[in-house]
């Protein structure tokens, strides 16, 4: 993987998530992908589980910026900022730790999320 490929994957992720395009999950993630919404949560596994969380909060509107900050072989770290504008305003900064399969899909997704105005864990 290189930075352009990772950022292309992130663009596809944003588009699929924004449009609630469940078919994009198969394009972006391996069939047995692990998707951890927190480094301490038991990861979700497989397309059906990822599709389910993409359907959370219908009617949500957001803006997103993201940048690959580290890429080495099959691993990448992405820094994302997500601002929800409706139905309620919220702002998050996130790090995504990604592992890519040989076909360019993600096999392991780990999310580190911090919300503006919430205390950091100490």
**The total number of structural domains that make up the chain:** 1
What does the pLDDT look like over 1-29, one tens digit per residue?
Answer: 999 999 999 999 999 998 989 999 999 99
Give a yes or no: residue 122 inside a domain.
no
pTM of the model: 0.91
CATH assignment of the domain containing 100: 3.10.450.50
Give a yes or no: residue 96 inside a domain.
yes
What does the pLDDT look like over 80-118, one tens digit per residue?
Answer: 999 998 878 889 999 999 999 999 999 999 999 999 988
Give a yes or no: residue 21 inside a domain.
yes
Distances (CA, A) of 72 to 59, 63, 94: 36, 27, 19
User: What sign results for the dihedral spanned by CA atoms 85, 114, 80, 11?
Assistant: negative
What does the pLDDT look like over 51-77, one tens digit per residue?
Answer: 998 888 767 889 999 999 999 999 999
Give a yes or no: residue 120 inside a domain.
no
Please name which of 93, 106, 84, 89 lies closest in space to residue 36, comparing C-alpha atoms. Answer: 106
More confident residue, 45 or 57: 45
Per DSSP, the three-state class of 51 is helix
In whole angstroms, give the CA distance from residue 50 to residue 34.
9
Residue with tokens 């780990």: 110
Query: What pLDDT sits at residue 60?
Result: 80
Quote the domain boundaries for residue 12: 3-115
């Amino acid at each position: 993987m290189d930075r352009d490929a990772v950022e292309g994957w992130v663009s596809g992720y944003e588009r699929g998530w924004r449009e609630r395009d469940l078919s994009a999950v198969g394009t972006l993630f391996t069939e047995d992908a692990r998707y951890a919404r927190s480094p301490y949560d038991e990861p979700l596994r497989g397309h059906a589980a990822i599709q389910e969380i993409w359907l959370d909060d219908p009617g949500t509107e957001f803006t997103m910026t993201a940048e690959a900050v580290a890429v080495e072989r099959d691993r990448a770290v992405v820094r994302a900022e997500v601002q929800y504008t409706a139905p309620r305003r919220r702002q998050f900064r996130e790090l995504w730790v990604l592992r890519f399969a040989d076909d360019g899909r993600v096999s392991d997704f780990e999310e580190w999320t911090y919300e503006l105005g919430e205390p950091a864990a100490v």
